[in-house]
Amino acid sequence: MDQTKLASVARQLVTPGKGILAADESTGTIGKRFAKINVESTEENRRAYRELLFTTPGVGDYISGVILYDETIRQRAHDGHTFVTVLEKQGIIPGIKVDLGTEPMIDSPFELITKGFEGLEERLRQYFEFGARFAKWRAVITIGESIPTDACISENAQRLAQYAKLCQEVGIVPIVEPEVLMDGAHTIDRCYEVTVKVLEIVFKALRETGVFLPGMLLKPNMVIAGSEAEKNTSDEIARLTLQCLRQTVPKEVPGIVFLSGGQSEIEAAVNLQAMNVAKGDAPWNLSFSYGRALQASALKVWGGKEENSVVAQDEFLKRATMNGLATLGQYTGE
């Protein structure tokens, strides 16, 4: 494990003014998004859409890294260059999603455990050869009646820690993503309580497993009320999220890249801005690792038509710019 190199890549990914594009939708997930715009989810359409994003002129000024999917890291742009090369030419670090989705817990079927350990070390080595320098593993925590259980949080934390350790051993920076879902009618206070508990258990597992904290990034949810509850102000979200992070995240972690988790494009930028304005002397860079919150408008404008590519790229660049400004506390609205 080259700790210097890991720490350097982790810091580059949270360069102030930049953040991460999560373009790692599984074939099923991107299929659902394509269905909404009446585009067939063929390998060629998926490739064309990703190429549109990755070749957007100037996007490397606001995007530090892109999380790819297994299919995507193997694909090429129409000029024959691999997508890894296309990203590197933009000054963007290629990354890879390595978990294989979730399955219900045996003893608690309403809760989910992330799978993907079989052959993981071998896959990580292969992805490193392809050019991936960071990875992502997502754990999902659901808030509901009498859940999450301690068993679910603990099992997901152990898996996140083991994944992170394996990544570092092959020279890949792990993004550790314990997502407390927005689904439901729970209050912001309930989300705070659960998120604190989850992060405490995750960092305990990371430490016990020997994960090198300066060579990893955390991708948490913001502390936010459930999607069926009354919305909070961005100042409330920022205050409670920062309070939660100060309580749980060691200062050695170089950066926190929030997930958007069902927020709209504008909400995700406004909330990130509020946190960077309020963060004071917080030791970490606060950035983003957004999927839908960077892509929704671009995808809609593109609509599967090549002639819309330039307008779609403009939309994508706009969203990347807005969130880049929010990492600096300089987003003033659309």
Selecting among 177, 179, 265, 315, the annotated active-site residue is 177
Residue 167: strand pairing partners: none
Return d(Cα 266, Cα 270) in angstroms, integer.
Answer: 6
* Contact of 136 with 97, CB cutoff 8 Å: yes
Selecting among 18, 97, 136, 219, the annotated active-site residue is 219
DSSP class of residue 112 equals E
Q: What share of the chain is helix, strand, coil (3-state, %, to 5)?
A: 50, 15, 35
Provide the 10 A C-beta neighbour count for residue 104. Answer: 11
Return d(Cα 178, Cα 324) in angstroms, integer.
Answer: 23
Provide the 10 A C-beta neighbour count for residue 187. Answer: 15
Provide the 10 A C-beta neighbour count for residue 171. Answer: 17
- Buried-exposed string 196-228: b where 16+ CB fall within 10 A, e elsewhere: bbbbbbbbebbeebebbbbbbbbbbbbbbbbee
Q: Which residue has the tokens 């930028």?
A: 269
Which helix (H) or strand (E) element contains residue 255? strand 255-258
Task: Give, rounded to a whole angstrom, the gap between the first and last alpha carbons of the chain.
Answer: 43
Residue 256: strand pairing partners: 218, 286
Is 219 an annotated catalytic residue? yes
Catalytic positions, written as ranges: 177, 219
